[in-house]
């Protein structure tokens, strides 16, 4: 087990939660990492710093920057644009119907973003990955698979850094587009906090499950990225948000 804690001098530092995070993985027989940056207290924690620096396929967490690129290039006009279902029955039932940007992100409708990738094209995809400084900024010959086949890769630490720039509207894209992407990421909200998040699952030579995002509070945001190895498929993949929410509760980011 590797834990890493960084705190700003003079800040009141909450108790280190990383031992509890290790137990969340150990109890499920999983090998994973968690990075949390709590700007309310100017403190960050990492469980398994080595894995946190290791790059993996982003899978559907790439829908966050991909949505931004699509809006910036005019491939997607707004959150109301309809992507017409082609009639092909796919394994995930919620994909089998027309989609909007909001539903495609929420349901992780792969076919919508494959259509987007083909419309953007490889040259513009590569150019924008570099502009956004996203992971290794590499794509494969398959423009509609590069975020799934392992050619594009990003670490948990890099995910958090990217999300921090999006939160602050610091990415090289229109302010309106950054705000819209953040809007479609909303997963849960209460009177005094908002959870924005995206999950992902890369199934291949190295199966990895992701859950990334942040919780907004009046005092500041709590950013997070977790990933773990998935040796047994969907039953373990479904535990992403369960583990993630337990992590967020451990630092009082959500009730």
Catalytic residue among 57, 60, 199, 250: 60
Euclidean distance between the first and the last CA atom of the chain, given in angstroms as a whole number = 27
Q: What pLDDT does residue 14 have?
A: 81
Query: How far is 23 from 135, CA to CA, in rounded Å?
Result: 28
Which pLDDT score is estimated for 204? 76
Do β-strands 208-217 and 32-38 pair in parallel, antiparallel, or remain unpaired? Answer: unpaired
Distant-in-sequence, close-in-space partners of 232: CB < 8 Å, separation ≥ 6 = none
Distance CA(255)–CA(240), nearest Å, equals: 18
pLDDT at residue 210, rounded to an integer = 98
pLDDT in tens, 183-219: 999 999 999 999 999 999 998 767 999 999 999 999 9
Tokens found for residue 217: 């509070």
Structural fold of domain 3-250:
Beta-lactamase (3.40.710)
Domain ranges of the chain: 3-250
* pLDDT lower than 70: segments of the chain: 1-13, 205
Instruction: Please give the Cα distance from 214 to 164 (Å, whole number).
Output: 9
Say what the pTM is. Answer: 0.93
Active site residue 108: no
């Amino acid at each position: 087990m590797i834990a890493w804690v960084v705190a700003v001098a003079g800040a009141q530092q909450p108790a280190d939660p990383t031992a509890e995070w290790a137990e969340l993985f150990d109890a499920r027989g999983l090998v994973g990492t968690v990075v949390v940056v709590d700007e309310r207290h100017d403190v960050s924690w990492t469980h398994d710093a080595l894995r946190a620096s290791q790059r993996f396929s982003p899978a559907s967490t790439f829908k966050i920057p991909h949505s931004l690129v699509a809006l910036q290039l005019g491939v997607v006009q707004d959150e109301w644009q309809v992507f017409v279902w082609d009639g092909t029955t796919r394994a995930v039932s919620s994909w089998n119907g027309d989609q909007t940007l909001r539903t495609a992100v929420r349901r992780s409708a792969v076919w919508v973003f494959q259509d987007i990738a083909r419309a953007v094209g490889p040259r513009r995809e590569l150019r924008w990955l570099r502009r956004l400084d996203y992971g290794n900024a590499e794509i494969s010959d398959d423009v509609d698979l590069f975020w799934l086949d392992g050619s594009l890769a990003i670490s948990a630490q890099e995910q958090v850094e990217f999300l921090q720039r999006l939160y602050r509207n610091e990415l090289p894209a229109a302010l309106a587009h950054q705000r819209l992407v953040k809007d479609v990421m909303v997963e849960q909200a209460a009177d005094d906090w908002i959870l924005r998040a995206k999950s992902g699952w890369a199934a291949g030579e190295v199966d990895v499950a992701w859950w990334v995002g942040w919780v907004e509070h009046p005092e500041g945001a709590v950013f997070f990225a977790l990933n773990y190895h998935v040796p047994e498929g969907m039953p373990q993949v479904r535990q992403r948000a369960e583990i993630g929410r337990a992590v967020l509760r451990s630092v009082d980011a959500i009730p």
